[in-house]
Structure 1
Amino acid sequence: MLTIHFANRTERLAGLLVERIGAGPVFTPDEVIVPSAALRRYLTLALAQQHGICANVRFGYLAQSLWGWIARVVPGVQAESPFAPGVLAWRIFAAFDAPGAFDAYPRLRDYLAHGDAVMRFELAQQVAGLFDQYITYRPEWLSRWSAGQSIAHGAGAGLQVTADEAWQAALWRRLATEAGAAHPAEAFAAALATHGDALVAAGTLPAALHVFCLPSMPPLHLGLLQALGQCVDVQLYALNPCREYWLEVTDRRRLAYLAARAAPGEELHHEEGNRLLAAWGKQTKAQLELLIAATGDAVIDEAHFDEPGADPEREPESASLLARVQRSMLDLTELAPGSVALDERDRSIEVHVCHGLARELEVLHDRLLALFAAPQPPAPSDILVVTPDLEAAAPLIDAIFGTAPADRRIPFHVTGRGRSSVNPVARTLLDLLALAGSRFAASAVFGLLQQPIVARRFGLATEDLAQVHAWLEDAGVHWALDAGHRASFGLPAQARYSFADGLDRLYLGYALPARIDAPFGARLPAGDAEGSDAVALGALWRFVGLLAALQRRVAAPLAATDWTTLLTELLHDFLAPQGEEVEDLRETQAAIERFADELQRATPEQRLPLDVLRSALTAALDDAARGGVPTGAVTFAAMNSLRNLPCKVVCAIGLNDGAFPTQARPAEYDLMTRDARPGDRQRRVDERNLFLDLLLAAREHFYLSYTGRSLRDNAPLPPSTLVSELLDTLLPAIAGERDAARARLVVQHPLQGFADIGFRADVDPRLRSFDSEIAAALRQRTTEPPETPPRAAPPEEDDD
């Protein structure tokens, strides 16, 4: 049986899941499908809070779990999918390297002919992701290609579309032939229809399956879940922001387009309903339509909608602005003009305009301190901060939140960053691989050696590194390992200014007196090392020797097993992790194993050059599937990594024009863009829906900020279109003058944090600063001393 539970809040759906899992047999594992690591942790804590422990629950992701059950049921199917994007990428890369394989397709042939190995690998990754979309959203296309048929729609298909389809169809037929079979989804569904109950009784399939809060499911997966529902108790938990029927609502722009194209006198049976829900909720609406259509006779449970901000002791009109916006979506109504008498203390929705991202973070820090100073402060774990570009924001977050004094320190955690950026073991390994294919500039070599994890391996202390740096300068080392290495760049085979020449001169400086009358063997000694300096000099010699050995080993492409062996040796020979770095080492080793496993499954004989290996290892370390995981502190994350996770305070910073939704366009060879269907993943539509999800996930405060003033000339800059659309909806609804309403929601901040406006009692409290050092400096400078900033007891990090 298949049951769909609808609710507008993640907490209600989690409560239903916890209740059902608690009612099941104790010794039967419960299968739970989640969309992210964040919601997996959320459910784990919810189960532990309710039952005292979370045990015998198997969490998984939909695609991998479905393939696992297919492999158990359909004979001859591999345990790991040969159509996984990581495996497909290597198989496509090998196909691109096959001589003459695509000579009949000029568009692809010309690109491959002029691209290097890294460009071919990047194209292979993109095409693998595209084929993964075809597998789940357009399986009928692949069936037609396998049968030698075209998907082009008659004579209307353009020449470029036809050319793109031609090489993709040829590539798919090649991949399908190598895999030995088509996707086994149909065979799996047939097996379930004939003997599904027996498979459940035998334990081959689970008796019950819980699918929790997936923001989107492709038609292929929905069809397989419906087939599983014939013999498995499938419980789908789906978020629905509206309890009314809203699948026919249309956004304002679409309504104008339809009205312009309508024939005279033609009636248009469309409505906008709630303006924000119609404009931002297209992905959710399409997913709900697909879910209802694909699941057919499923049982629908719609008794779990909660009133946002509901308080039996208060009138509905006294609810916060945030709660009223959420309630208007729930009821599919619009906030009437002038209908919201905004309370002076209502800070549930704020928009802060700043000069640059650093200033945004300074303002955010002060606003969070104000929240912690309130009578009913949130816990740090109740606060989520998201930004479109986490990598750009991370150093500023550390600089502003990480350097605050103890009396203003806010516990924080940045999650979901690429591990190649934050894992010191991985970062050093990638730097080492980059160095192995370079000119070995003295600055780059010393930069690697002075990394603490590397210097520790070679026994070099801080003073030893300073001495080594002075030696390299005195010996005149500029670049190249030796004469042969320099010759590989098409230059004369001269050792002067190389590491080999420099080390010879340093050893002469150690062996010979400080003053000599003539060069020794045509070389002058350098460095004047003596006594115990031999230890550091020997460490430098060993380090350079290992680099030279590495350079020789990677000069030619290596197979997967050889790369695995080499990378493991590099971790041992060059790095000495300690403390938290030991876990970083394990994480890096796991990424190496994933990369090697995918390559081994795809093309075990494939030999990879160094630059492709480094690109592939970086991709394995930065795997987006890891996502972010909240902790007991204020959590900073990318926009989508903690989707649908409820928080008391949701902050979105960096919402500049063009930053979110992003301006990225789909690949020109993506055939799905020319045949769009409801439910297709479209980045801009997905990101608009993500903003809606963030708004709905906020329980008490929805905080937005953007760079609205130029640092150069203070010129106004526009915000994200999403911020503008939100303000365009809220401002007319607030009673009073529009300018006054805007001032209630939008706060204009000064360029600098030390502006005296932040320390005056007669200004907007949202401009107030908590910086006591700046207040003390202003007090000495001015005749009218500023007000002493309030003191907020610094919050403590929550226990997990």
Structure 2
Amino acid sequence: MLHVHRSESANTLVTALAGLLRDPAPGADPFAPDVLAVGARGTERWIAQRLSHHLGAGDPAAGGGDDGICARVDTSSPAHLLDGVLAAALERTRPGTGDAVERWAPSSLTWDVLEVLDEIAPADGGPAPDGRPEFALLRHHLRHHPGDDGPGGPGGPGTPPVRRTAAAARVAGLFARYGAARPQLLADWAAGRDDAPGAPLPADLRWQPEVFRAVRERVGLPAPAELLDDACAAVRADPALSDLGPRLAVFLVTRLATSRLRVLSALAEHREVHLLLQHPSPALWDATAAALRADPGPRRAAWAAHAPGRHPLLRSMARDVRELQVRLAHAAPGHTDVHHPAPEPAPTLLGTLQAALARDAEPAPGPDPGDRSVQVHACHGRARQVEVLREVVLGLLDADPTLQPRDVLVACPDVETFAPLVSAAFATDSHPGGGLRVQVADRSALRTNPLLGLAVRLLGLAQSRAGATEVLDLAAAAPVRRRFDLDDEDLEQLREWTVAAGVHWGLSARHRGAWQLGSLDQGTWRAGLDRLLVGVAVGGAVEDDLVGRTGDDGLLGAVVPLADVESSRIDLAGRFAELLDRLDAAVTRLQGRHGVAAWCDALLDAVLDLADTAPEDAWQVAQLRRELGVVAHDAARAGTARVGLTDVAATISERFAAHPQRANFRTGALTVCTPAPVRAVPHRVVCLLGMDDGAFPRAGGPDADDVLARDPHVGDRDPRGEDRQVLLDLVRSARDALVVTYSGRDVRTGAVLPPAVPVGEVLDALEAAHPGVRARIEVHHPLQPTDRRNFTPGALGTDGPFSHDGTAFSGADAGHREPAPVPPFLPAALPPAPAADLDLDTLVQFLQHPARGFLRQRLDVASATREEEPDDALPVQLDALQKWAVGDRALAARLRGVAAPEVVRLEGARGGLPPGPLGAAVLREVGPVVDAIAGVAAEFDTAPPRSVDVELDLDVPGVGQLRLTGNVRGVRPVRGGGRATGEVAVTTVYSRVKGKQTLRAWVELLALSAAHPGTEFRTVLVGRGDRGSTGLLTLGPVRSDAARDLLVDLLELRAVGLRFPLPLPVDTAAAWAQEAWRGRAPDACLRAARQAWTSDFSFDKEDRQEENVTVWGAERPVEHLVRWEPPTTLPPGVPTTFEGLVRRVWEPLLGVQRMDER
């Protein structure tokens, strides 16, 4: 007999269940377990905990009630239990058909369908064996699916259209849906009756019966739906066909498929079958029972006119339980029905809503205006929702000392997206919420097992171009890091090597062949690795010193060694090479078309080659083997279908993502999970997180290929209707408070956004019953947690401050105080720096950038370097800086005597040029400039260059005696009329001759002249000039005594500049000095300085340089420098104005400067 037990409360149902289980069923083995099928995953532990309060518990009056135990109860899911009964009945009544249930499961049937689809539309593009017109639409879809693995795709030429397996899985899912909801449909198709009862099958669906029969023939077993009537009749006739005991219970279901309901009804013929339902409204149950007498028929549309229920939420959200009642009446007309009344809800806003649902009537008079049992919070985006939820939960815990975190449930439709936000928000040590235990339950195994994630990532990488960032991300995965012993510093070094080696995408030229670029090795991982390993082989040599060296080792002639590979990093280079080699081997294995088992073996080998786990994480390997084994097993039962990478990747990825881990519910922590598993479990506080429009209920309309969707019947699955039922159950399961958060404003634009439609319906129902209540319970939160409203009592719906965030309060308080004036970078001058000997380069660097010199040389503060990130795209067009780098390298090679063709080969091997003709165009642009500069520099090539040492003892005012030492390179004798007339230090640059290079040449000239008074020196700068010319800047000569005095002046300025920053940015000062030297008015000098200082839209200038921003402020106008005043009294003779400083540095230089254009 089927006994239906219903109640509005799951707690009440557990009490009723405990009464059933307290004593063994009549005639049953007292030691045999009772079977309990639980309709919602995640409720098993709660049921066991609640049953332990009843089974074996002592008398509560005597101090018992919590000392019981839940034993002798086996739990299962209704689907697993009833499918097992059906399989056993089939095997016993028709031997050999017991496997039909498993063989016709979608996971296994997909591969049979794939074989049939390959026959209808061969994967190789060849003609079909026959031209049956009913397959024309399906054949067109299979051969014209968007996207393909053809030429340029990862599968190479001739591979079939993308996602053929997805189409097969979809068809298999349709057949499973038909068999569960309308088994007679498949029975009719098997018998050749294609038209649906009462209506012909639409023309665009006529391919389905034919495919079904072809699949049926291939499987070799009838579909379970065909045998359902015989199996149920056998179970009714012979209860021994099932091994189940004389009593079983099905707990907390809202829908049962037709096939399973019929099996359940058959079991009830000779057994006690108890169906325990949480139903929101006894009045609705009675109204539905009355409507059954009208018998509107099986179609859902016919029932719409007779749908009972007066409360709007029952009419819009209770369809699943209403239709289950209808189907129970038809499947088991003699069942008993027992209502177990639930306790009356509290007289709160939430309680009046629950009571109104139970009575299917208008709610009672309005609750206390201060009632907060229903709260709706509109926020700016997901992260803000989590922050608001944290404050709400803390507020509820503070307000009620009896409330514990385990009493709070957070149900989130998109738990994968919100899980990291929740973990971050509740793990902040500075916030009181950081002390709460939070458990994110029922996440997919893909998120909890790194090896599964690595497997999916490998499948994706095998289909991709293996870009630089993608491979580096793979190397950063925890299992890969462990296998190759990579720490954070190692990963940073790999990133730097990748950038320096010019790696962009492609494991090798062979790998690039799939994209028709097999002849181009430039920028591949293989080319980059060769550069790295040759760099290891040649030690610390600079790459340019090895250009053109072939000798016995021809590799150096084809590979540009990576420079400066430290000896301490050789082991890391070896590990990186091994990683890339194993990755290349894995990607090679994961190509072509193979059987699914072979794919799973190849993927397992690839993961284990690249990953390692700690001993305590051995379960991760076991789970990976198990999951891949299931995929291979399902496919093996179907045959030997050979599939491509795209299809098997989609199949494995979907299985890993959809298969949940063991649910961590009822652990004593605040639980965050998806709504369905705990929909009926009572909690004192139920929070609905992320109830955004579009996120809930699930998106998607009827499937155009679904026969059932063309004419829905009562009980047919509807995901959106199921989600509405879930929301109704959650509203009913909340005892003290219901909290809803949603994105009420766009986080970028601030545009108003509505909540999820069902949430809006709940608000509308409350507003209709209690006018004005929505404005009171719906709170619109500010964008930032530092907004003062978060801490203003009553501003956000609470009597006291809403937020508990002390850090945010400090921010809010600071934001409303009068801002303090920005203090100067240096309130007062520092004491003089201790006297010390000085290197010539140190003096040059200070003069080239006085702000940087002050920070580095006095404060020992280095500015952050801008790290270049890997680029996944081959360069097709170089920007100005990249072209400069090419020209600079080419010029340096030419000056060392490397021939032009060798320079071209060098740049191609380095990977800094665009490929092919695009790179040739860059060299055509750069080459003439390089030739012109090198030609002018060659005029001074009268003798081999030499280095001249400088060592000077100088007496600097305010500093004392110091020794200036250094070395000047590129010095050659100047010959005229066959005899020496002095010496010249030649510097050749690809850049334009500007202030930075000029100052170095000037200081070197002064040092040479002062240190070697018997020789006349000049310095020469050769670089790019204006309008395509070559610039030739000559400085000197300077008398030795004058040079010493000028060096002392510069050293004195440096000494002052180490006490406080000097306003002498090199380009700005040079621009002012040039105009002043020409006799221009101060306004003209200011304009020139402003142009050199101020950035424009296309180029950052000195006002945005990090050190200048630090010292002078962000984007200060040049007038800020011009009006500079020293913070202390300066020594006599030291200029006290910007203009005076400029003249001190630049006037002597300009007096001996000559600029020629060639």
Confirm or deny a common fold (TM above 0.5): yes
Q: Quick check: 1:729 aligned with 2:765?
A: yes
User: Does 55-64 or 32-41 show the bigger shift?
Assistant: 55-64
- Match for 1:614: what amino acid? A
Per the alignment, residue 181 of structure 1 pairs with 222
Distance 1:232 1:559, change over 3 A: same
TM-aligned CA deviation for residue 214 of structure 1: 1.2
SS of 2:602's partner is helix
Secondary structure of the residue aligned to 2:215 is: helix
Aligned pairs for 1:421-440 (under 5 A) are 421-440=447-466
Are 2:36 and 2:249, in contact at CA under 8 Å, matched by a contact in 1?
yes
Query: Distance in 1 between the 2:288 and 2:308 partners?
Result: 5
Residue 329 of structure 1 aligns to a residue whose secondary structure is: helix
Inter-CA distance 343–552: structure 2 relative to 1 (3 Å threshold): same
What's the counterpart of residue 369 of structure 1?
A: 394
Q: 1:771 maps to what in 2? A: 805
Change (3 A) 1:44 1:597: farther
Give the Å deviation of 1:779. Answer: 4.0
Do structure 1's residue 60 and structure 2's residue 80 form an aligned pair? no
Residue identity in the other structure for 1:193 = R
1:97 to 1:404, Cα distance in 2 relative to 1, 3 A = farther
Match of 2:9 in 1: 9
- Deviation of residue 639 (structure 1)? 3.1
Q: Deviations over 1:247-286 (max 9, x none)?
A: 6469xxxxxxxxxxxxxxxxx9886432321222112111
Q: Secondary structure at the match of 2:206?
A: helix
Out of 178, 186, 200, which is 1:142 matched to?
Answer: 186
* Bigger relative contact order, structure 1 or 2 (CA pairs below 8 A, ≥6 apart): 1
Q: 2:70 & 2:343 partners in 1: Cα distance?
A: 30
Instruction: Map 1:237-252 to 2 at 5 A.
Output: 237-244=276-283, 246=285, 248=287
SS in 1 for 2:337: strand
Distance 1:779 1:503 in 2: 55
Identity %: 31
**1:40 and 2:44 equivalent?**
yes
Secondary structure of 2:263's partner? helix
Given the alignment of the two structures, is residue 208 of structure 1 paired with residue 247 of structure 2, yes or no? yes
Which of 475, 482, 486 is equivalent to 1:449? 475
Corresponding letter in the other structure for 1:36: A
- The one-letter amino acid paired with 1:466 is E
Q: Confirm whether residue 171 of structure 1 aligns to residue 211 of structure 2.
A: yes
Q: Which residue does 1:524 correspond to in 2?
A: 560
SS of equivalent residue, structure 1 residue 622: helix
2:269 match: 230
Considering only aligned residues, what root-mean-square deviation do their CA atoms show, in Å?
2.7
- From the superposition, tell whether residues 755 and 508 of structure 1 become closer, same or farther in structure 2 (CA, over 3 Å): closer
Q: Which moved more, 1:555-564 or 1:704-713?
A: 704-713
- Secondary structure, in 3 states, of the residue corresponding to 2:745? coil
SS of residue paired to 1:479: coil
Shift of 1:53: 4.2
Secondary structure of the corresponding residue to residue 384 of structure 1: strand
Tell me whether 1:129 sits opposite 2:173 in the alignment.
yes
The reply to whether residue 192 of structure 1 matches residue 224 of structure 2 is no
Aligned counterparts, 1:299-338, within 5 A = 299-302=336-339, 304-309=340-345, 319-335=347-363
Aligned partners of 2:751 and 2:238: how far apart in 1? 70
Pairing of 1:349-388 with structure 2 (within 5 A): 349-388=374-413
Asked if 1:112 corresponds to 2:142, the answer is: yes
Maintained 8 Å contact 2:353/2:363? yes
Q: Structure 2: how far apart are the matches of 1:186 and 1:152? A: 19
Aligned to 1:206, the other structure's residue is in SS state coil
- The answer to whether the 8 Å contact 1:210/1:237 transfers is yes
- Higher mean C-alpha displacement, 85-94 vs 98-107: 98-107
CA contact (8 A) 1:654 1:706 kept: yes
Q: Could you tell me whether the CA contact under 8 Å between 1:92 and 1:128 is conserved in 2? A: yes
1:261 alignment partner in structure 2: none
Structure 1 position 400, deviation (Å):
2.3
User: Which one-letter code corresponds to 1:765 in the other structure?
Assistant: T
Alignment partner, residue 653 of structure 1: 689
Alpha-carbon distance in structure 1 between the residues aligned to 2:10 and 2:268: 23
Task: Determine helix, strand or coil for the equivalent of 1:650.
Answer: strand
* Structure 2, unpaired ranges of 5+: 57-67, 123-127, 149-160, 290-304, 819-1158
TM-score by length of 1: 0.87
Alpha-carbon spacing, 1:95–1:700, altered in 2? closer, same or farther (3 Å): same
Tell me which moved more, 636-645 or 684-693. 636-645
Distance 1:693 1:247 in 2: 19
SS in structure 2 of the partner of residue 236 of structure 1: strand
- Counterpart-to-counterpart distance in 2, 1:399 and 1:542: 36
Structure 1's 72 and 408: CA in aligned 2 closer, same or farther, altered over 3 A? closer
More deviation in 653-662 or 285-294? 653-662
The equivalent residue for 1:607 is: 642
The answer to which of 570-579 and 663-672 deviates more is: 570-579
CA–CA distance in structure 2, aligned partners of residues 623 and 780 of structure 1: 47
Which whole-Å deviations, capped at 9, do the CAs of 1:692-718 have from their partners, x for residues lacking one?
Answer: 111111111111222223444544332
Correspondence 1:587-736 to 2 at 5 A: 587-603=623-639, 605-623=640-658, 628-630=663-665, 631-734=667-770
| Distance in 2, Cα, partners of 1:781 & 1:710 | 24
> What is the deviation of 1:110?
0.7
Q: Is the 8 A contact 1:628 1:641 kept in 2?
A: no
What amino acid is aligned across from residue 379 of structure 1 in structure 2? Q
Q: Residue type of the partner of 2:96?
A: G
Instruction: Work out the CA distance in 2 between the residues paired with 1:653 and 1:78.
Output: 44
Measure the CA separation in 1 of the matches of 2:561 and 2:280: 77
Q: Is this contact kept in 1: 2:431–2:804, CA < 8 A? A: no
Q: Structure 2 length as normaliser, TM-score?
A: 0.61
Q: Whole-Å Cα distance in 2 between the matches of residues 392 and 235 of structure 1?
A: 39
CA shift in 2, pair 1:534/1:282, >3 Å: same
Q: CA 1:600–1:492 in 2, change beyond 3 Å: closer, same or farther?
A: closer
User: How big is the shift at 1:54?
Assistant: 4.1
1:29 aligns with 2:33: yes
Would the alpha carbon gap of residues 504 and 675 (structure 1) be closer, same or farther in structure 2, given more than 3 Å must change? same
Q: Aligned partners of 1:84 and 1:398: how far apart in 2?
A: 37
CA deviation profile, 1:65-101 (whole Å, cap 9, x unmatched): 2232233333223356211121122222222122337
Q: Which residue of 1 aligns with 2:781?
A: 749
> Quick one: distance in 2 between partners of 1:627 and 1:280?
29
Question: Kindly tell me: are residues 560 and 279 of structure 1, through their superposed partners in 2, closer, same or farther at Cα, counting changes over 3 Å?
Answer: closer
Q: How many residues align?
A: 742
Moved more, 274-283 or 53-62: 53-62
The 1-side partners of 2:591 and 2:360 are apart by 64
Cα deviations by residue, 1:486-505 (Å, 9 ceiling, x for unpaired) = 23321242433323333333
Displacement after TM superposition at 1:138 (Å): 0.9
Return 750-759 or 281-290, whichever deviates more: 750-759
Q: AA paired with 2:334?
A: D
Q: Which whole-Å CA distance do the structure 2 matches of 1:308 and 1:354 have between them? A: 34
